[in-house]
Structure 1
Amino acid sequence: MIDGNAHPPINIAGDGPLRARFVTSMGTMVAELYEHRAPNTVANFVGLALGTKSYVDPRTGKPGSSPYYDGILFHRVIPNFMVQCGDPTATGTGGPGFRFKDEFHKELRHTGPGVLSMANAGPNTNGSQFFITEGPTPHLDNRHSVFGRVIEGVDLIGKIARVPTDGRDKPLTPVVLEKVEIFRA
């Protein structure tokens, strides 16, 4: 069994702020990651993005060691709300085979567009799924762990949120998260 609360150290060269570049089939956006105010959540995300954190692939049931997010779909998109990703099965129920505790910081709120936050199924059920807000969503404060904010390419969130969807907010034409690159500015 994988301990979701154990996270590998973040070993990214440089001294600048930690960033994540999301390369999608519709364009690219860059987020600053709040490694000092949400250290466990950021370490989990970075570990999965780089393939340095152990996980179970929900499609195969077998241990995985490659970058978790590369090639998966934005499986839920809602205009004026958010876009969601992080489930390799694209069903909204898949995850990495572990859960970890919520991490809330009084300064990290869902105050506007571009907030990067963990999706969950209730308290302390974080795994791999995350969402990015298109606008303020204060009702999510202290329910979803904020761990970053998009600082470049914010307009891409609205473009993804407005692709045609089925009756369950799943894009009819797949929007692919091709890769996540972690770096320091």
Structure 2
Amino acid sequence: MVTTVTFETSEGTFKAELFTEKMPITCGNLIDLINQKYYDGLYIHRIVPDYCIQFGCPNAINPHVYYGTLEEEGIGEGAGPPETSFKSCTGKKHTRDEYGNIEDELIKDFSNKEGTLSMANSGEPDTGGSQFFINVKDNPHLDWFNGSSESAHPVFGKIIEGYDTIVKKIEHAEISETNSEQPAKPIQMKSVTVTIS
């Protein structure tokens, strides 16, 4: 079976395949949030050309707040719903902690290569929640097994449609004068859906 996520944005639609067999906890968390409509209506809050596109912060729901700074408004600091449960792709029950975070799922099978989806975190263990990013170039220093940095960002999927058109378009959006990582024009995630075939 193939699990596909469709991301419908204000700039167009792209799709990703999830690595559900190798990353059942991380993918199960994402699927649960998608089914809750957790991501629908949020804005992409971080764009760093030649590095990543990040979204999934529940604080990025208001486009007026979105124009503010990351530090002042807490954009980029939100996680999943605290102390809630979900099922991994193997059917096992898992619980998010009091901050809405899940346990790290660190395996060597997948590197932070261009076009992959990877979990964002605070830099501390087990701090991934609802936020993730798209690698828009190879970022091996983000792999926990690389050893060149302390970063540990688990990869759990890859873009399979719309990378060269929609994702690259988003990557090169005009950046705000007041914040070097936010687009000048808000880019909304209208809906995120998952299908299994």
Give the TM interval when normalised to the shorter protein. 0.7 to 0.9
Deviation of the 1:46 alpha carbon: 0.3
Deviation of the 1:88 alpha carbon: 2.1
Deviation of the 1:126 alpha carbon: 0.6
- Report the secondary structure of 1:28's partner residue: strand
Q: Does 1:144 align with 2:153?
A: yes
Q: Deviations over 1:62-118 (max 9, x none)?
A: xxxxx1000101000011111000012121111223111111221111122x11011
**Partner amino acid, structure 2, of 1:93:** E
Which residue matches 1:80?
50
Which residue matches 2:168?
158
For 2:131 and 2:117, locate their aligned partners in 1 and report how far apart those are by CA, in whole Å. 11
2:43–2:55: 8 Å Cα contact kept in structure 1? yes
Q: Deviations over 1:129-174 (max 9, x none)?
A: 0100111000111211111000111122221111112233011111
Moved more, 94-103 or 133-142: 94-103
2:43–2:189: 8 Å Cα contact kept in structure 1? yes
Runs of 4+ in 1 over 4 A off after TM superposition: none
Which residue matches 2:193?
181
Which residue matches 1:118?
119
Deviation of the 1:38 alpha carbon: 0.5
Q: Does 1:170 align with 2:163?
A: no
2:79–2:128: 8 Å Cα contact kept in structure 1? no
**Counterpart pick for 2:77 among 74, 83, 93:** 93
Which residue matches 2:66?
none
Aligned length: 154
**Partner amino acid, structure 2, of 1:18:** T
**Partner amino acid, structure 2, of 1:115:** T
CA RMSD in angstroms comes to 1.1
2:7–2:189: 8 Å Cα contact kept in structure 1? yes
Give the gaps of 5 or more residues in structure 2. 61-74, 83-99, 145-151
Moved more, 156-165 or 29-38: 156-165
1:80–1:158: 8 Å Cα contact kept in structure 2? no
For 1:147 and 1:31, locate their aligned partners in 2 and report how far apart those are by CA, in whole Å. 10
1:86–1:129: 8 Å Cα contact kept in structure 2? yes
**Partner amino acid, structure 2, of 1:149:** K
Which residue matches 1:42?
27
2:103–2:128: 8 Å Cα contact kept in structure 1? yes
For 1:111 and 1:26, locate their aligned partners in 2 and report how far apart those are by CA, in whole Å. 23
**Counterpart pick for 1:29 among 7, 11, 14:** 14
Which residue matches 2:147?
none
- Report the secondary structure of 1:73's partner residue: coil
1:82–1:157: 8 Å Cα contact kept in structure 2? no
**Partner amino acid, structure 1, of 2:169:** K
Using structure 2 for the length normalisation, give the TM-score: 0.75
